[in-house]
Amino acid sequence: MATIPRSLLIGGFRYAVEHGDGLIETEGEHWRTRGRLVLDFGAKTSPDRRREVLVHEILHAIRTNGGHDEKTQPSTDEYKAHMREVENFICSLQWGIVNVLRSNPELVAYLTGED
């Protein structure tokens, strides 16, 4: 079985991939700060869900690296509604991205290949 990488290069920044204490009962909790992606899975978390959570946090890191850092924004109702929209959008992408990459190994080979 493949394992989660210990670090990832995302937009020129190295992120350590860390694991939480595993005490949760849900399918997966996760958060990130610049330089860290922390993934915390319960014992019942499936391998596919673990992949989705990792991609979810990668998408947040890409967004943050692009200048959209959630932590620098005001805590207003309008901003909170915007962040719920962002979270819903990222959630809608995470499964699709994992599914496309897993279903199309030739695409992964093309994207990671040398010209």
What is the residue extent of each domain of the chain?
7-112
Query: Which option is the CATH number for 7-112: 1.10.260, 1.10.10, 3.40.50, 1.10.150?
Result: 1.10.10
pLDDT digits over 26-43, tens only?
444 455 566 788 888 777
pLDDT at 20 over 90: no
User: In angstroms, rounded to a whole number, what is the distance separating the alpha carbons of residues 110 and 2?
Assistant: 20
The torsion angles phi and psi of 109, rounded to 5 degrees, stand at -60, -40
Q: Which pTM value belongs to this model?
A: 0.81
The DSSP call for residue 113 is S
